[in-house]
């Protein structure tokens, strides 16, 4: 596609529910990243994919968070049993891969947990 | 621990009033420093990559410079449309992800 596409753009959920956030990267980009941006905070790294494998999962905040990528393209970030502190904007980015070149970001998915 | 600190947190300028934003870093082996612009409700948009001390890059009213300890984003004669949050990020080594600062929120008043 022309750019990184994320859905949904906004999601309001109740505490304890599971949510799935989707990212469709730029065609041909082998690397895909998930970041989280909370109000007044910088971008917090969550997980990185090279192809379908995730060499670096070090940023996932807890075992309630998981992510997968299939076909070297679309990625899904899943948050189970959501908590209020999970409220944030979840940003996906893709790049041509290593060595790191510029990341191209999507518009983000704003998650609000009530 | 690799750290990126941006200052000031917020900056308010009159249209035409030039200024600079700072990004200081403490990392073990810089592979690249990135500047992004982020508008409200949008994802960050890539501006520049700098790789070595002494390097400079320009785009319209923006110029980014790099030393061994910090980077500056100089804004010359800003316009209201330059209002945004400017983010700095570093790539340290290997397959490590970009580490971002908290950003500088710039407001340019007509």
A contacts of B43 (beta carbons < 8 Å): 4, 91, 93, 105-108
What is the rounded CA–CA span in Å between residue B13 and residue B29?
34
- For B17-48, letters b (16+ CB in 10 Å) and e give eeeebebbbebeebebbbbbbbeeeebbebbb
Residue-level length of chain A: 114
Report yes or no: A92 and A105 within 8 Å, Cβ to Cβ: yes
A45 with A25: CB under 8 angstroms?
no
Radius of gyration over alpha carbons of chain A, in Å? 13
Q: What is the pLDDT of residue B82?
A: 97
- Position A99 scores a pLDDT of 61
Percent of chain A whose pLDDT exceeds 70: 96
Contact A91 B45 (CB under 8 A): no
- Whether the CB-CB separation of B64 and B50 falls below 8 Å is answered with yes
Mean pLDDT of A39-57: 87
To which residue do tokens 């670096």 refer?
A: A56
Residues of A in contact with B35 (CB under 8 A): none
How much is the pLDDT for A102?
85
Put simply, the answer to whether A35 touches B96 (Cβ < 8 Å) is: no
* Average pLDDT of chain B to the nearest whole number: 93
- pLDDT higher than threshold 80 for residue A1: no
Is residue A10 over pLDDT 60? yes
pLDDT at position B93 is 74
Please indicate whether, in this complex, the C-beta atoms of A101 and B49 are within 8 angstroms of each other.
yes
Could you report the per-residue pLDDT of A65-90, keeping only the tens digit for each? 999 999 889 999 999 999 999 999 99
What is the per-residue pLDDT across B75-89, written as a single tens digit (0 to 9) for each?
Answer: 999 999 999 999 999
| Residues near B94 by beta carbon (within 8 Å), at least 6 away in sequence | none
Q: Which of A40, A42, A106 sits opposite B43 (nearest CB)?
A: A106
């Amino acid at each position: 596609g022309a750019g990184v596409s994320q859905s949904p753009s906004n999601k309001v959920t109740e505490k304890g529910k599971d949510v799935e956030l989707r990212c469709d990267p730029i065609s041909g980009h082998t690397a895909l990243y998930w970041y989280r941006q909370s109000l007044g905070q910088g971008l917090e790294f969550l997980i990185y994919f090279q192809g379908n494998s995730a060499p670096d999962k070090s940023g996932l905040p807890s075992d309630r968070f998981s992510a997968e990528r299939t076909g070297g393209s679309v990625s899904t970030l899943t948050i189970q049993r959501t908590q209020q502190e999970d409220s944030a904007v979840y940003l996906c980015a893709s790049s041509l891969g290593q060595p790191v070149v510029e990341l191209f970001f999507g518009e983000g998915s704003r998650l609000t947990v009530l | 621990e690799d750290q990126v600190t941006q200052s000031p947190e917020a900056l308010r300028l009159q249209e035409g009033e030039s200024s600079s934003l700072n990004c200081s870093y403490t990392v073990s082996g810089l592979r690249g420093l990135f500047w992004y612009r982020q508008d409200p409700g949008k994802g960050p948009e890539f501006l520049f990559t700098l790789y070595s001390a002494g390097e400079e890059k320009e785009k319209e009213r923006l110029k980014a410079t790099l030393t061994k300890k910090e980077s500056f984003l100089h804004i010359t004669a800003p316009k209201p449309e330059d209002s945004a949050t400017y983010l700095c990020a570093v790539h340290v080594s290997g397959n490590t992800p970009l580490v971002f600062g908290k950003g500088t929120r710039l407001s340019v008043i007509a």
